[in-house]
Structure 1
Amino acid sequence: MILEHADIRIDPARAADFEAAILHGVQTVISQAKGFRGFKVNRSIESPGRYLLMIYWDTLEDHTVGFRGSDAFTQWRAIVGPFFVQPPVVEHLELVGKS
């Protein structure tokens, strides 16, 4: 399993609308993608307007090729993109260990 980690920055004054939009976008668009396994969204306490979106995928390609190359990605960006004050920083991680 792969973890997509997206560091998202928005205008803190739009937080309530963004939170509704990101949940709607994940639940109605991303969750339908091949290889999607779940997600978490966290809001920063120290940095208003900073969010971490973590999405679990079966494979890296499910995200980078399957989802990003689909019309669903365009739909997703139409929902959340207007809130971004800068492009999100996205990385993919592999599990090394857990307890």
Structure 2
Amino acid sequence: MTAPVLEIALLQVRPGQTPAFEAAFAQAQSLIAGMPGYVRHDLQRCLEDDHRYALLVWWETLEAHTVGFRGSPQYQEWRALLHHFYDPFPTVEHFVDVTPGRLPPS
């Protein structure tokens, strides 16, 4: 098995909207978790700026995110629930683990 792809999105939430964002995310996370190729996710809030979050989503392949999820009706629901909270709109990047000496997942 190949290493999963890590999607990282740094989210800047509009001032005063963090409680509403976290509530909406609690609802939205089931949309992403049910997608083919989804592995797991974490949402982390920044200690230095409580309106900044890091969304980490692991996928089996890049296409599971970029084609599968983004091309799905679930993405449209995700977008409706969450995208209005962001200013500016987040940049999303994808990474693979290249840690020296780490064994690949079995």
Larger Rg: 2
Match of 2:98 among 90, 96, 99: 96
Quote the offset at 1:24 in angstroms.
Answer: 1.6
State the distance in 2 between where 1:14 and 1:45 align. 16
5+ unaligned residues in a row in structure 1: which ranges?
none
Determine which structure has the larger helix proportion and give its number: 1
State the TM-score, normalized to the length of structure 2: 0.86
Q: What is the deviation of 1:31?
A: 0.7
TM-score calculated relative to the size of structure 1: 0.92
Q: CA RMSD in A?
A: 1.4
Q: Which amino acid aligns with 2:95?
A: L
What is the percent sequence identity of the aligned residues?
37
| Structure 1 runs, 4 residues or longer, greater than 6 Å off | none
Task: Determine the C-alpha separation between the residues in 2 that align with 1:18 and 1:8.
Answer: 11
Corresponding pairs, count: 98
Match of 2:8 in 1: 5
Residues 7-66 of structure 1, C-alpha deviation per residue, up to 9 Å, x if partnerless?
Answer: 111123111111111122112x11111101110000111123110000010000000011
**Contact preservation (8 Å) 1:12, 1:48:** no
1:68 shift after superposition: 0.5
Match of 1:19 in 2: 22
Equivalent AA in structure 2 for residue 39 of structure 1: H
Matches within 5 A, 1:52-67: 52-67=54-69
Alignment check: 8 A CA contact 1:11 1:49 kept: yes
Q: What is residue 85 of structure 1 aligned with on the other side?
A: 87
Shift of 1:90: 0.4
